[in-house]
């Protein structure tokens, strides 16, 4: 071993570096491995959703053994048991021991169930707190790790379609539950005069519409209005059109803005953007396009991630900051850098002050933060 190797191993001889404190080392290692535990458990949550195990637990009228859970889901018991042990050890599901029915004992006698909160988050797509969307697309999101080293070298990221069709479904399942519950009854009424105009018959553009959940919900509520969804993801647009046909919605059209851009003649009464401006390679250009589309008395509902002005504030005030910076690398910032010269705002890249400055640069003169309670998003009313 060379002298150099020895000094690195002992942590000595390197300016500012001291040997690790044994207790702090254990704690630090534990902290690092809790992240791996989270990642692996997240993968197991994905399987619980995909294989219907959460749904089966939610539908059961009493806690289930893994034998019962396996038979209700048509899965192999040994795999179900190991999965359930992970989920219960991580306190995602509940385990019940000591109430063995008599004919089974040991691990086979342990029963599993969901708390009411777990039923909402894991097994109730109609509940606003349903959270399986991000887990739905976990394999696609994590697969991008294979492409990331190249992106770190070239600076170029990947758009949403790099996550494949299931990526679009995951996004749909992430945003739809809250928007189904609150967009029409809570958010639209918070905008001055917008509901009256929608009832009378207005033109609406939802830019970055994804799989069209928001636009279809609004179209159902306001049949006298005409709705246009714009997205550059062919998977999202395909899914949106499929849902439009299923809903029989004749007042909705979906467009790829690269072939069919927003109108530039100030004819749109309401523009909505939900969680997408920070994903765009040219958010400032998009704001100019929205300004060109919007009527002189029109409204832009800008919904984007509730970010703070600095990294330090994000870390201090957002308990999910590390998750968000990570998702940004894997998804949002990657999308925002998917073309040369992309702005690369990323998940936490559009705090209110920046959004207002960019809207002003695009020619908007009024910017108001709406008082809407959301764990992740901020809501702004922007007017010419």
Ligand X SMILES: C[S@@+](CC[C@H](N)C(=O)[O-])C[C@H]1O[C@@H](n2cnc3c(N)ncnc32)[C@H](O)[C@@H]1O
Instruction: Kindly write out the interface string for residues 211-230 of this chain, putting x where it contacts ligand X by CB under 6 A and - elsewhere.
Output: --xx---------------x
Q: Is 232 in the site for ligand X (CB under 6 A)?
A: yes
Q: Is 356 in the site for ligand X (CB under 6 A)?
A: no
Rounded to a whole number of angstroms, the minimum distance from the CB of residue 60 to ligand X is: 31
Q: Is 327 in the site for ligand X (CB under 6 A)?
A: no
Instruction: Kindly write out the interface string for residues 178-207 of this chain, putting x where it contacts ligand X by CB under 6 A and - elsewhere.
Output: -----------------------------x
Edge-to-edge strands, sheet with 268-274 = 252-255, 226-230, 203-207, 268-274, 294-305, 377-383, 366-369
Q: How far apart are CA 266 and CA 214, in angstroms?
A: 22
Of 256, 193, 247, 253, whose CA–CA distance to 221 is shortest?
A: 247
Instruction: Kindly write out the interface string for residues 274-313 of this chain, putting x where it contacts ligand X by CB under 6 A and - elsewhere.
Output: xxx--xx-----x---------------------------
Give the one residue of 140, 141, 225, 233 binding ligand X; rule: CB under 6 A.
233
Q: Is 175 in the site for ligand X (CB under 6 A)?
A: yes
Give the one residue of 141, 144, 335, 347 binding ligand X; rule: CB under 6 A.
335
| Nearest residue (beta carbon) to ligand X | 210
Q: How far apart are the first and last CA of the chain?
A: 70
Q: Is 346 in the site for ligand X (CB under 6 A)?
A: no
Total of residues contacting ligand X (CB under 6 A): 23
Give the one residue of 68, 231, 269, 304 binding ligand X; rule: CB under 6 A.
231
Give the one residue of 118, 119, 121, 209 binding ligand X; rule: CB under 6 A.
209
Which residues form the interface with ligand X (CB under 6 A)? Answer: 160, 171-172, 175, 207-210, 213-214, 230-233, 236, 257, 274-276, 279-280, 286, 335
């Amino acid at each position: 071993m060379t002298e150099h190797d020895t000094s690195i191993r002992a942590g000595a001889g390197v300016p500012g570096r001291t040997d690790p404190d044994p207790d702090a080392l254990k704690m630090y290692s534990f902290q690092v491995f809790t992240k791996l535990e989270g990642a692996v458990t997240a993968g197991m949550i994905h399987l619980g959703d995909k294989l219907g195990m959460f749904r089966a637990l939610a539908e059961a009228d009493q806690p289930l053994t893994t034998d019962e859970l396996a038979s209700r889901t048509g899965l192999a018991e040994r795999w179900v048991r190991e999965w359930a042990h992970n989920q219960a050890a991580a306190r995602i599901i509940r385990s019940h021991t000591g109430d063995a029915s008599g004919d089974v004992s040991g691990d086979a006698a342990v029963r599993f169930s969901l708390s009411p909160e777990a039923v909402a988050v894991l097994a109730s797509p109609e509940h606003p707190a349903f959270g399986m969307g991000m887990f739905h697309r976990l394999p696609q999101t994590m697969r991008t790790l294979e492409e990331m080293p190249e992106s770190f070298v070239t600076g170029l990221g990947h758009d949403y379609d790099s996550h494949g069709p299931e990526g679009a479904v995951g996004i749909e399942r992430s945003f739809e539950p809250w928007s189904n519950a609150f967009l029409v009854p809570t958010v639209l009424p918070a905008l001055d005069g917008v509901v009256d105009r929608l009832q009378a018959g207005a033109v609406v553009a939802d830019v970055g519409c994804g799989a069209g959940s928001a636009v279809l919900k609004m179209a159902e509520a306001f049949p006298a209005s005409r709705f246009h969804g714009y997205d550059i993801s062919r998977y999202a647009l395909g899914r949106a059109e499929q849902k439009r046909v299923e809903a029989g919605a004749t007042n909705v059209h979906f467009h790829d803005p690269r072939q069919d851009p927003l109108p530039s003649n100030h004819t749109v009464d309401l523009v909505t953007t939900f969680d997408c401006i920070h994903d765009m390679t040219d958010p400032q250009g998009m704001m100019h396009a929205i300004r060109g589309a919007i009527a002189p008395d029109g409204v832009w509902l800008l919904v984007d991630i509730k970010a703070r002005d600095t990294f330090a504030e994000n870390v201090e005030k957002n308990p999910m900051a590390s998750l968000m910076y990570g998702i940004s690398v894997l998804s949002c910032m990657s999308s925002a850098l998917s073309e040369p010269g992309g702005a690369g705002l990323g998940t936490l890249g559009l705090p209110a002050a920046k959004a207002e400055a960019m809207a002003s640069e695009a020619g908007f003169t009024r910017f108001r933060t709406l008082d809407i309670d959301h764990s992740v998003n901020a809501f702004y009313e922007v007017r010419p």
